[in-house]
Structure formats: structure tokens, C-alpha cells
Structure 1
């Protein structure tokens, strides 16, 4: 399928522009609020300049051949008419990718190729591609029912064909393209910087593959097909200057240099062992709005969610179903009147600058779980991505590396960014010591390696498991859930509140059976499945009635309910194979019996396992938690919508359960973007509010309110509305009774995770 988000990346304004152009109007600039000054990369002399080092810098553009500088005229054109850099137009070079830039002028406009045909093509492509995606999605939805599969396939093909037309339309360009200013970023405003010599560059249009040039005996800009075709007039020098507009960006609200290591050489800081930065692409890519980054910046990454959730948010079905609210204000940058908020399920909360703020507060390791659910994806007809779970995981992995490259581009080149994907504990430790965030890739998929369940028949073999482990290990995945939500070919799934109805109905649709359930043998579980009581009596009539009802309705014993289905033989093979490879096995979402089996396998092999986002009432009993800690593993808490008092209580329990046989640190699993709530404000903030500014736990960073666009976030009011507010939340937690005690373990959790991972890694083969 064509990616609607890519067409949107040409700018949502493009569709509006199509209309405005037809009516004789012109688009207004994107920047409608005071932007945040980009990071200062320091002075750059011409001898030091590379295609990467100029990122975020302020430059005048000179033609060495004539010695003149570019200056913008009143009509929006650019002329080589300035005699020096001070008279020239000052351009902010905003990186869109490694070596690619937007040239942002003081009028908050972009040096672009103005092409009416391409504008119409882009606007048409946006509409056509949306129609194609909808058709494709309807085909997927119909395909859930086997009897409608042929019809679904026909509609799928029609949707693909329509989307293909959108791709063709998007590639149209006219014969009379002009270089001129544009009030918004789109494909034709992106330039690839190239170095033909040490001190001059060429600027190649990324979309049109044409060079920015100046024709001989002319002061105006034009386009050349290749270097040299304009007799050297395709070369430009970049001279540092002042007077640039600040490109819009989310603020950090933090100043200082974070602590990295303790005096004994151990890592200082905490681990988020369960997050979903890449989840903007899951469930078809059109349920969650917002992205962690966008090549055209925050105004695109966090723009209006009307495309995903409809006018007034009325088609945001997942948001409505989980939050109980009908409709919402869709506006994003710069106002953000509704989202992100701590009770929103379907709006992105891990924009990259928010993650950086968390890093400044002590985040040292983030585990990003690539996540997929084929059934939900197929049910919702509006989508742009393939619903096949493994296909979607590959896409999300690709997006994570693109995000790493994007951050590198902002910071001056490959490897220079603060966000580093790591594949072993030694690399992770080195990255942390180098002052960067170590990012680990995991998988949380409902049908891992395609191993679903048809009644009691597994849809995979040991060969599929071997191939899946090899592929995703080679792709960098180091932590895996065997099961999530529904029973699959490996195991019974855990049952947890408040999702019992969804899990049971979903399991019926996906596998053809209701969830298995027994009365939980231990305290600690609170899930209760809706049930039909058995007809009393031990006679043949009662037995027959119960047997007939049991085919159609779930007849369960008294709750609370646990899933007794064990690991299948394939499940045992999977867990053993993951351990053989040194991949961390995640115990969350395993059913009661299967979880104990997995823990016993780990104990027998001397391997750690991890509970990365333990849910109160639905995951570990005390005995299970103690045994996971004893393996050298971790039981990290899912904060959910808890205020700091509730999280302190849960963390104190884990302190009690931990084993003294291993280095102890207590992390958390935020589950951001995983259809999960985030922590709420304290109920008593009116009486004793958390005070800004505040100092980080290490005493080295001063934080003030985080500001994104025109929205000022306050932990007293907003709770953890987005990921960048976790430093505020943990600082507030520390101030409460019992908070200081648990925080000292919290800031040991990154080291604890590294040691756990190292034990698993060293026991495996690579």
C-alpha cells in the first residue's frame, strides 16, 4: 500500500493549497507561535563544513562564481543581488534527514520549487490515496469472515490500484518549475546537500533530482539537470551569518549536564523496559495520531488529527471506546487543546524532544517494543499499512532506524545523535557512558512469527520459529513476548482487568474458542470473565445442558479467573530457542500456567526473565514476582493512571519481593502509545502543588515547565500528558513519604537491566 503519511508529509496544506490555488489564494506560513531556538552547534568555519555539520546553522548563500549572495525580493523570488552576507537573506538549515535540508528564511518561508502541476498532483494524490486506503481497508475487514474472503480480495485489489494512481499523481511535475519561496514545507522544498569540493556545495532537489543553479549573465535562480551543465553556476558557499528565523520545535524546559555514572563506575539512571515509540505505524497506521518525528518538523509530526480521527474526532473509535468520550478537539500544533493528555489512548506521546527531556531526567535505557495486532487492524477499515503482524513489525523497525538517522541529522551527522539503537549490553553500556540514550528493540505481537491458533491447531512449525528468531535477531530484536492478549500457538494468554470482555470476544473471533479459565489458585489476580453459571446437578440432563451451552457460551467457575492453558510443545520450543539465542523472554501476558512453566525453564537454565510492565491485578502474584527476581530478572511496574502515591506502594512491594542474590534496581514500563493510560496528577495538588522550577535527582539539571507550541504543561494539572513529563512525575514522587527510598533503587535500574541482559546474552549463541 502507498503510505498516506508520506503524502501527508508533502504537507497537509497541499490539499488545502489545491483549493486555494484554484481560488487564487495563497497559503499562510506554518509558524503560528513563538518557536524554540534550535541547539547551538557552535561556530563552523568553511574549512570545517560538511554536508552534516551545517545542520541548524544560520547561513547566507553565495555564488563563488559571481561573489554575490542570495536575497529575497518582494515577489518571493531569490536573486543573487546582495554584495555581502549582512545584506543577504539568512537561511536556517533545518535537517530533514542525513544530508537533506529545508532552507527556512526570516519570513518563515521555504526556498522551494514552485510547480503548479506538482501542487495539483500532490493535492490530488492525497485524496486519491486516502480513497485507495479506505477501499483496501474495507477489503481487509470483509476478509475476517472466510465466506467473504473472495469479495475482500477483489476490494483489496481495487484499493491497491487506486493508491497506485495516487502515487502516479504525486510524481507529476510541470515543465516551467520556478525556484521561489513557499509558505509551507513539502517535497519540493527539500534539498540534498552535496560536496563537489571542500568549500562549496551543490543543492539538489530531492524530489525532482535537479540542481539549484544560476544561469550565466543572470541573477535569478534556475534548475540544472546535472553538475557542470551551467558552467559552474551550480556551486554555492555557505557563510555564517545572523538574523535567521528559529525553526519551530518543542522545548526541553531543561538546562544542565546529566550524570551518567556513579563513583563506582555503575550506570546512574533508570530503564523504561516497555514503550512503543514506533506504534504510530501499528493497527494499520491510522488509529493513533501523531509521530515521534517528521522530516518537516514538529508542525507535521504533531499536527491536527482530523485525518485519523475525523471531524471533531468523531471517528476516533478506539479513543472513544477506551476513554468513554465521544469526539474530541483534533487540533495539534501549536494549541494542543485536547491532546496529548494522560487519558488519551490514540494520540502519540513520545515525540523525540519529549524523549530527550526524559533522558535529561535520568532515562538511560528505553526498550521499544515493536507491536502488532492483526485482528484489530483488520476490523478497522481505515488503514494505510499491511495488517500482517510480521510485515508491520519490519516497518516499525525501519521507522526506528529512520528516527535515529533523523536525530543524527539534527546533531551534526551519522553517530552523533543522542538516540542510539543497541544490540548487546556492552554496546549499550558504551553508548550510555558516551552520554546517549541506549534503545533496545523488542517484540510484543499477538501472533508471533504468524503462529496463531485455529481452535487447537497451531498455524506454525518449528521451522517457522527458527526462521523468525533468526530474521528478527538479525534485525536487532533482543526481547520478545511469546503471547499477547489472545491464545496463540505457543501459549494461553493472561487475563487482566479491565479488558476481560475484549480479550474473551477477541479470542473467540481469532481462535474460534473462548478463553480458558479457572479460579486463580493464588491471590494477586483480579480478572473476572463474564460467565454463565453451570446448571447444577450431576445427572445426565444437567451434564448434557452444560455441554451444549459450553459450545456457544463461556461456562466458567467462580472468579477471579486465570488461564490454565499451558505452553504448547511449540511454546516450549520457542522459549528454549529464545534462551539459546540470548534473547530476553518476557513473562507478561503469559497465562497463569504458562508463566510458571516459563519461570521454571529459566530457573533450570540459570537464565533471567523479565516482567517489563507488570499490571496490578492481571500479572504477577507475589510468588511469581519473587521467582522472577530470583532468576536475576526484573519485575518493572506499569504506572498506568496511578498518581505518585499509588506507584510508591507498588514499588515498595517489589522492593520487598526482590532477591539479594543479584544487583537490584527497580525500573518501570511506561507502555506509552500502547493503548495505555499514563500517570495522573496527585489528588491533593491544590493543597500542596509540585513547584517549578525543580532540580533533577542527580542535582545537575534544572527543569522548568515543558512547552510545546503554545501549550505549557504542568504535572499538577496534566499528569504525564506526554513522555517528557516523566522527570516532573518522578521528582514529585520523590517528595512524598516513601518516595526517596524507592527512588534510590529506581536510579539503579539501568545498571540492573544491563547486568540482567548481560547474563542472558552471555548464555546464548550469536
Structure 2
């Protein structure tokens, strides 16, 4: 866990007491009444409907894992590859369990580890005397609270946990619909759900995830899908959780006969307000950061099986992906800006990000988000970073970074270190959990003061109260006021996308750690105040 310096603590106290910096607002929206609560900019709530519903564990009897009674939604399983009950089978590929175990800690047969909520007294640690005598109750060493912080195949956004997060201050959540065709195509056939709305065609799966979220919120009085910043303000002030739709898809817009422009319009009408134009492989629009070893495995699978042409990033002499935005990608970015859709740069290569920022400058510093990543000072090591040259553009445009729980305490401090000179935050920060997204969360740590976090780490979305409490215990930010500004800051960013009269924001207080931080082609650098 990161430790705050005294200087940083003093600065945090000064910032917390300072008024919010105003930005250009959409007409008719009051800026004097900031929204309460915090935002999570990257949650795969409905990922159980991705990958033909064969990757994530289903609920009891093949039911849903995101809603219903906890003992049904998160019931126990062994992976099920050797089980006759195929409703329990998941996360198994055509390559078999020995290979599957290397994909994730709970893929394949889980090596006899049982995952899920105990569904009987025996497994709850309350055996009868006879069961104890016969040794029938096998204690689950891997359990210790479900799910685990490093799960790749079990639900982390069950409705009860989500409600707990909302009641603790989560007022805005970006529901990111996701799919990955190569993974979808190698799932073991006995686990595949043959529902046509769950095809490997990514956009079909995205539609199902949008529809399931709409149904979920329509059935609950504490949740509502929002399609504009004005609606978000209204919904949040009514005490509800505002949900914004985003798309994260590697083979974006490849499986339709519609034009790119028509597809953007279609998905806007379906509710999409945020999009990543590339994900885990180079695509029609942009180069990506080659950072996730799991997806490197899938790229190799693509090459061997010819299931889908692999698009390996080409690394140049500088160690970075040599591909930036394609001509088609530049047209797509301008279309998204014209449509007032928020662009998420999370997986873009440094060159793609540089090209996108150039278009953003031409459009009066159009704001972008990095929904799930962290600060990084090394311009020569491509990862899901916001380097200092990127941070300066976000500072000028009103952008925001959603930080992983794994990097939370380090980045919480770094956001102040970079702007500490005048007690101003470098860029706005929010949470970017990436739950259900192949992302190990904050690990258990004996040094944590919050007991649940110490034992379980950041295991599911219902752990937000523990994480907030740890922030309060670790810093002088009592009441976690900084992170509780993230919903307001995100909605302000959204409003800026609608404001044709927006202009560059002040860079007062910008204090980069690496003053020589420069984009690959030298277009942007951290000293361009």
C-alpha cells in the first residue's frame, strides 16, 4: 500500500477545503450545486452475457449471476469440466483444462477449488457430528469470502453488492459492454449458450448487455440509465444510481454491412455515450498498447486456429507500437466528436493517443477519459498509462482518469504531487475498477486498517465502503471528499462535450514529475503550458 508524504497530506487538506473549479457548463445547468458521491468509470456489470455466456459462472440451474438471491446468483461451482451438470461448466476452452488453468486462477476446473457462496451447512462450516466424523465436509481453502480479488470468471457485480456500493456513495457507474471474438470462438461447446443474442459477433453481444442493463434498472427504483448530463444530474439528485453506457470491443464495427457513420448513429440511439475505438488488438481504426499477456495468448490462438486474423502490434525501434490512428480512425474520431460521444483512450497506443489529441485540439480541446489505468512517468514503456504529456492534455481539456484499485493509493497521491505547487489537482480522478474484466484487484494486505479489505482485498463492488474507509484512514481527506467529487467532475466533462464554445482550461499548478515527457512524434510535451 502506498504511503502519503506529509507534504501531500497538507496539500490534500488544502484542496479539500478549496471550492470546485468551474468549467463551461451546458445552458440551463447550474454549476453552483455540485453532485454528491463518486463514480466508477469502468464496470462490466453484464459480462456474463459476453463470450456466448460460456466464460463466466452462471447462477444456480443456469440462471443469472448478476441478480437474484445471493445463494442462487453466486452459488458454488468446481468449474464443471468433469461434471455431468453442464449448467455449472464455464471457463473451459477447446484446449482443455491443463491449458485453461494458465488463463486465469479460476478458469478450467479450478484445480478442485470451490468458488461461490456455500449453499449448505456442511460447506458453511457447520457440519453435523456424523459429517465431521466421516470427514465429509471439505473445508474450502480458497473461499474466505466470495468472490476472490483475483477472479477472472466469477461475478463481481451482483445486485446486492452493487446496492451496497450505491448506498456508500456510488452515484454514477459506466456500464461497459464487452466481448472478444477469439475467446468466444474457443469456448468448449458444452458450455456455450446457443441463444442467438449471444453470438461471437461482438455487436450482437453488446446489444444483449445493453438490453439486460435496461431491464435491470427498470425493475429497481434505485437505478436508472441516463443519456445526457442533464438527466444524470436529475437522477442523482433523486437519490438514484445513474448508469451510462460504454462499448469496449476489439473488432469494433467489423461485423455489420452498415457504414461506420450509420453504426455510430445506431449505437447512439441504443444509448452508447462512451466508446473505445480499439481494445486488445490493432484494428481498422487504431493501434493499441500490447500490455495484457492473457490477450497475447489469444492472439497466438488466432494465428494457429485461423479463427480470426491476428493483428499483432508492430513495435518500432523506440519500443512503442508504430501504429497510430488510421485514416478511417481519424474520420471515426471526428464523427464521435460531432455526435458528442465521449472517447475513452484506455487501450490506445501512444501514437494513437497523440493523433487523437491533435484532433481534440482542433475541436477546442475536446475532453476525453482514460477509464481504467494509472499514472505512468515512463514514455518509453507502453502500458495503460497516463504519462505526463497525456496528463497535460487532460488538464487543458477537462479530462478524467479512472484509476485501478491496485494503484489507488499511489495514484491518489500522485495526482497531487503533479499539481502541488498551487494546491490544484493535475487532472480529475475517479475509480476505474474494471470489475469482471480480467483485472486483478487490490490484494489483501496485513497493513490495511480496514478489516474487510485486509482479509479480502477489493474483491467485489460491494467492497467500496471498505475502500473508502481505508482512504479516510490513510489520508487527511476525511469524508473522502476528493473521490466524492468524481461524479460531479465526470458530468462536467460530459457537459463540455456538448459545449461548442468550450476553450482550453487553465494549466496553473501543473507540475510534471518528468518535464521532458514527450509524445512519440514530439507533438505534445509536458512543458507546453
Of 327, 336, 342, which aligns to 1:578? 336
* C-alpha distance in 2 between matches for 1:729 and 1:319: 30
Shift of 1:629: 2.9
Higher relative contact order (CA 8 A, sep 6+): 2
Three-state SS of the structure 1 residue aligned to 2:286 is: coil
1:473 is the counterpart of 2:265: no
Three-state SS of the structure 1 residue aligned to 2:481 is: helix
The alpha-carbon distance between structure 1 residues 579 and 683, as it changes in their structure 2 partners (threshold 3 A), is same
Question: What does the per-residue CA deviation read over 1:408-427, in whole Å, with 9 as the maximum and x for residues that have no partner?
Answer: xxxxxxxxx11111000000
Question: What does the per-residue CA deviation read over 1:149-182, in whole Å, with 9 as the maximum and x for residues that have no partner?
Answer: xxxxxxxxxxxxxxxxxxxxxxxxxxxxxxxxxx
* 8 Å Cα contact 1:275/1:670 also seen in 2: yes
* C-alpha distance in 2 between matches for 1:629 and 1:566: 22
* 8 Å Cα contact 2:46/2:66 also seen in 1: no
Q: Which runs of 5+ in 2 are unaligned?
A: 1-29, 59-63, 93-99, 125-139, 377-382, 502-529
The alpha-carbon distance between structure 1 residues 574 and 309, as it changes in their structure 2 partners (threshold 3 A), is farther
* C-alpha distance in 1 between matches for 2:115 and 2:464: 24
1:288 is the counterpart of 2:288: no
1:337-416 → structure 2 map (5 Å cutoff): 338=143, 339-381=146-188, 382-384=191-193, 385-407=198-220
Shift of 1:361: 1.4
Three-state SS of the structure 1 residue aligned to 2:431 is: coil
Three-state SS of the structure 1 residue aligned to 2:246 is: strand
Q: What is the alpha-carbon root mean square deviation over aligned residues? A: 3.1
For residue 679 of structure 1, what is the aligned residue in structure 2?
A: 442
Higher strand proportion:
1
For residue 515 of structure 1, what is the aligned residue in structure 2?
A: 313
Three-state SS of the structure 2 residue aligned to 1:364 is: strand
Of 382, 395, 398, which aligns to 1:632? 398
* C-alpha distance in 1 between matches for 2:32 and 2:403: 27
Three-state SS of the structure 2 residue aligned to 1:678 is: coil
For residue 563 of structure 1, what is the aligned residue in structure 2?
A: 321
* C-alpha distance in 1 between matches for 2:117 and 2:82: 14
For residue 372 of structure 2, what is the aligned residue in structure 1?
A: 613
Query: Highest CA radius of gyration, 1 or 2?
Result: 1
* C-alpha distance in 2 between matches for 1:624 and 1:735: 31
Shift of 1:569: 1.1
* 8 Å Cα contact 1:315/1:327 also seen in 2: no
Shift of 1:284: 1.2
Shift of 1:638: 1.8
1:727 is the counterpart of 2:465: yes
Shift of 1:671: 0.4
1:690 is the counterpart of 2:428: no
Question: What does the per-residue CA deviation read over 1:591-637, in whole Å, with 9 as the maximum and x for residues that have no partner?
Answer: 12111111221122121011010156433322112212321111221
| Count of residues paired in the alignment | 413
Question: What does the per-residue CA deviation read over 1:159-209, in whole Å, with 9 as the maximum and x for residues that have no partner?
Answer: xxxxxxxxxxxxxxxxxxxxxxxxxxxxxxxxxxxxxxxxxxxxxxxxxxx
Shift of 1:647: 2.0
* C-alpha distance in 1 between matches for 2:231 and 2:348: 30
Question: What does the per-residue CA deviation read over 1:52-96, in whole Å, with 9 as the maximum and x for residues that have no partner?
Answer: xxxxxxxxxxxxxxxxxxxxxxxxxxxxxxxxxxxxxxxxxxxxx
Q: Which runs of 5+ in 1 are unaligned?
A: 1-261, 408-416, 452-459, 521-560, 692-713
For residue 299 of structure 1, what is the aligned residue in structure 2?
A: 71
Shift of 1:761: 3.1
Shift of 1:654: 2.7
The alpha-carbon distance between structure 1 residues 405 and 618, as it changes in their structure 2 partners (threshold 3 A), is closer
The alpha-carbon distance between structure 1 residues 649 and 307, as it changes in their structure 2 partners (threshold 3 A), is closer
Shift of 1:473: 0.6
Shift of 1:675: 1.5
* C-alpha distance in 2 between matches for 1:599 and 1:475: 27
What TM-score results when the alignment is normalised by the length of structure 1? 0.50
Three-state SS of the structure 1 residue aligned to 2:393 is: helix
* C-alpha distance in 2 between matches for 1:367 and 1:309: 33
Shift of 1:494: 1.3
Three-state SS of the structure 1 residue aligned to 2:247 is: strand
* C-alpha distance in 2 between matches for 1:491 and 1:591: 8
Shift of 1:383: 1.4
* C-alpha distance in 2 between matches for 1:638 and 1:347: 19
Of 117, 123, 128, which aligns to 1:332? 117
Three-state SS of the structure 1 residue aligned to 2:346 is: coil
Shift of 1:742: 11
* C-alpha distance in 2 between matches for 1:278 and 1:493: 24
